[in-house]
Amino acid sequence: MRILERLKHKAKSTLRGLNARTASTRNRMDSPAATASETGQNKQSFVDKRKQRSLLKTIINVGHKFVVLLVRWLLRTIYGEKGKKMPPIRNLILMESASSLALKIRTRKLTSVEVMETFIERCKEVNPLLNSVVDERYEAALKDARLADELIASGTLTEEQLATEKPFLGVPISTKDCIKVKDLLHTAGIWKRRTIRGEKDARAMELMRRAGAIPFALTNVSECCMWWESVNTIHGRSRNPYDTNRIVGGSSGGEGAIQAAAASAFGLGSDIGGSIRIPAFFNGIFGHKPSPHIVSNDGQYPEPISEQQEMFLSIGPMCRYATDLKPMLRIIAEDNAKKLRLDEPVDLKQVKFFYQLNDGGGSLVSPVDLDIRDAMEKVMAHFRTTVKAEVRKVYLDKFRKSAPIWFGNMKHENEIGFDAQLVNLEGKINPWVELLKWGIGQSKHTFVGIMTAVTEKAGIQYGSEKYHYMVQQRDELLSEMKIMLGENGVFIYPTHPTVAPYHTEPIVRALNFGYTGIINVLGLPSTAIPLGLGHEGLPIGLQVVGNLNQDRLCLAVACELERAFGGWVAPEVLA
């Protein structure tokens, strides 16, 4: 009993001591001096960490700018000032729009055979310089052209019926090597797919055929269509018609180059991060990324792996003349065209124009060229003074995070790794082994493709805190954009911060694609519009972004700017 009493007494003493210490601690915590002291320490710690991050970010950005300047100097030394010039355009047929050619063919001012022969000859003439055409069906296309001429000669359909049912009858069309064309290669620039051919047309190409267009050439892409320089180990590197030392963009780069060189009347591209608009910009042509779910993605490779990616990816028109954009979009949109109200007239005086000259200073992103900024200011002055429209300069801060937002929103729970995509989903590569093989010229993959596989796991991961943050940022930016644009607003923004860089230079400017990529993950329509040539003799331009399904506003702005600033400019030719 005495033992039990002593234990009880000891327990009570211990409990009293604990209570006293707890009360003492609580009193210190509740005192204003203690609270202020600890709060001040926390704030100071937060400020210190923020300063450290800011300093590190500044050092990285300064170091990156130095590397960019060094690489530019090295490449300019290696390549020289200018590449080879294009052969002259001798036949005026090559200067016509697709719509004009179709009109002249169905009214018998030209024959489809004559037009087809002219474009085939031009392809053969420029492709040794550009390396844009990677497969062709020239003989089959000439047979199709003869059939078109026979249909017109038969009188089975009137000119009005032909214009309605086959608006592009007899006109040559090209497309990139990731959109199926029956019997042509369908590689997407992936070595494992080098012998695969399309067993049928992609839906968009099928619809263009029904409208009378004749596929005749297939054009080069980047490996797996996921880089903004068109180079792969099957077909090699494509070159810019304005300066063959410069890139054509990607992944629809070969398509942009062949059209800029007047070797194709018009074509189809696809865009998940700028793959239509970047090549359109670098090659001085028009390119439109439609609103989501308007044009079928059936027949593309790689296929989108999620509903989100399906929304970000769009097949769209690429052409030298803005007047071809609307009729092409109407055809490939099928029944969805009515959602776009393409025939509804657009009064540009009633359109509100918002513009931003740059992304606000994104990390590792190049500043916008002075030529591009000046051109944009001239465009806004045109809408302000000539059109008499409402023009407002804005600043949307979240554009600084464009590339991270794109990377984050591209992630998916069941994501297929790039190491699998590079071998056509037939297993996986070991990127480290491939990197060693690349170093001795033995890999079947590009350096960029291999490094993408290497760094993929180090990026934003699906379901992580950073992933959810980037999704939230995207949603907030989309809400801002929708409120700003409303039903009659457009947003003018650079397509890309610089003119076409030298070959391989995108490796040190990788995040510049964010200017276009952010528009994909926002799910908004956008049109790349050429504005002539800058001081380096290379194309400059901008993109115009509309609200969801307001594509017609983008197309109307494209037509107006073509009228006011001239649109596509033929590349410099031999003297």
Which residues are part of the catalytic machinery?
176, 251, 275
- According to DSSP, the residues that pair with 353 across neighbouring strands are 391, 490
Q: Amino acid letter at 25? A: T
Residue 402: partners with Cβ closer than 8 Å, 6 or more residues away:
359, 362, 365, 514, 515, 517, 518
The DSSP 8-state label assigned to residue 87 in this structure reads P
Nearest to 317, CA basis, from 9, 34, 551? 551
Q: Give the Cα separation of 77 and 66 in Å (integer).
A: 17
Contact between 539 and 569 (Cβ < 8 Å): yes
Sign of the CA dihedral 397, 400, 404, 405? positive
Measured CA to CA in angstroms, residue 171 lies from 96, 116, 138, 152, 363 at distances of: 11, 7, 13, 13, 45
Spatial separation of the C-alpha atoms in residues 254 and 223, rounded to whole Å: 12
For residues 432 and 454, the answer to whether their CB atoms sit within 8 Å is yes
How far, in Å, CA of 386 to CA of 58, rounded? 42
What is the C-alpha to C-alpha distance for residues 226 and 34, in angstroms, rounded to an integer? 56
- CA atoms of 266 and 38, how far apart (whole Å): 67
Bridge-based pairing of strands 489-493 and 352-355 is parallel
Report residue 302: phi and psi, to 5°.
Answer: -70, 150
* 517, 553 contact by CB (below 8 A): no
| Cβ–Cβ < 8 Å for 249, 278 | yes
| Token pair for 7 | 């234990």
The residues, any chain, with a CB within 8 Å of residue 399's CB and separated by 6 or more, are 356, 359, 360, 362, 477, 518
Q: At what angle do helices 465-485 and 402-410 cross, to 10 degrees?
A: 120
Angle at the Cα of 479 from the Cα atoms of 478 and 481, rounded to 5 degrees: 65
Q: Strand 526-533's sheet: what is its strand order?
A: 133-136, 214-219, 172-176, 266-271, 314-319, 286-289, 526-533, 539-546, 489-493, 352-355, 390-393
Burial of 324 (0-12, 13-18, 19+ CB in 10 A): buried
CA distance 313 to 516: 12
Distance between first and last Cα of the chain = 118
Is the torsion defined by CA of 178, 179, 180, 185 positive or negative?
Answer: negative
Tokens encoding 408: 């984050």
